Homo-oligomer: A and B are copies of this chain.
Amino acid sequence: MGATMTLTAERTAAETFLAEATELLGAKGITQDPDLMEPWLTDWRGRYTGRALALASPGSTEEVAGLMKLCARHGVPIVPQGGNSGMVGGATPDESGRGILLSLRRMDRVRDLDTGAGQVVCEAGVILQSLHELADENGLRFPLTLGGKGSATVGGLISTNAGGTQVLRHGTMRAQVLGIEAVLADGSVYDGLTALKKDNRGFDLKQLLIGSEGTLGIVTAATLRLLPAPTARVTVWAGLSGIVEARTLLRAMERAMGDTLEGFEVVPAHCLDSVVAHLPDARPPLSQRHEWNALIEFVASGMDEGRLRERAERALAEAMEDGLFDDAAIAANETQAEDLWTLRESISAAERARGPAMQHDISVPVEKMPEFILAAIPAIEGEFPGTRGIAFGHLGDGNVHFHILAPAGAVPGEWEEDEGRRVSGRVYDLVTDWGGSISAEHGIGQVKIGELARLGDPVALAMMRSVKRALDPDGLLNPGKLVPGA
Q: Which residues of A contact B (CB under 8 A)?
A: 114, 116-117, 119, 160-161, 163, 167, 172, 174, 184, 188-192, 194-205, 207-208, 210-212, 216, 228, 251, 254-259, 300-303, 363-367, 394, 397-399, 435-444, 452, 456-457, 459-464, 466-467, 469-471, 482-483
Contact = CB atoms under 8 A, between A and B. Distances in A.
A127 to B, nearest CB: 21
Given A207-B207, A471-B466, A471-B467, A452 B367 contact: no
B439 A190 contact: no
Given A202-B444, A459-B190, A460-B190, A437 B212 contact: no
A198 B459 contact: no
Contact of A184 (B205, B303, B459): B459
Given A201-B438, A437-B198, A444-B201, A367 B117 contact: yes
A464 B228 CA distance: 35
A363 B199 contact: yes
A203 B197 contact: no
A471 B394 CA distance: 35
Contacts of A256: 302
A197 B459 contact: no
Copies of this protein chain in the complex: 2
A286 to B, nearest CB: 26
A228 B200 contact: no
17 contacts: A117-B366, A174-B204, A190-B460, A191-B459, A192-B460, A196-B436, A198-B394, A200-B441, A200-B443, A201-B437, A202-B483, A203-B464, A205-B460, A205-B464, A207-B208, A255-B302, A257-B302
A482 to B, nearest CB: 6
Nearest to A303: B258
Nearest to A188: B459
A435 B196 CA distance: 9
Given A300-B258, A302-B256, A198 B397 contact: yes
A210 B201 contact: no
Contacts of A467: 203, 208, 467, 470-471
Nearest to A207: B207
Contacts of A367: 114, 116-117, 119
B117 A198 contact: no
A444 B364 CA distance: 36
A462 B456 CA distance: 29
A195 B470 contact: no
A67 B194 CA distance: 41
Nearest to A215: B203
B466 A194 contact: no
B197 A366 contact: yes
A216 B205 CA distance: 13
Contacts of A204: 174, 204, 207-208, 210-211
Contacts of A114: 367
A198 B463 contact: no
Given A198-B441, A208-B467, A257-B302, 16 more contacts: A116-B251, A117-B366, A119-B367, A161-B200, A184-B463, A190-B457, A191-B459, A196-B436, A199-B363, A200-B439, A201-B456, A202-B460, A202-B482, A255-B301, A469-B470, A470-B470
Contact of A365 (B117, B163, B167, B466): B117
Contacts of A435: 194, 196
Residue of A192, A258, A463 with most chain B CB atoms under a 10 A cut-off: A463
Contacts of A174: 204
A172 B119 CA distance: 19
Nearest to A204: B207
A440 B196 contact: yes
A197 B483 CA distance: 21
Contact of A208 (B172, B199, B208, B462): B208
Contacts of A463: 184, 190, 203, 205, 471
Nearest to A253: B302
A201 B301 contact: no
Contacts of A456: 201-202
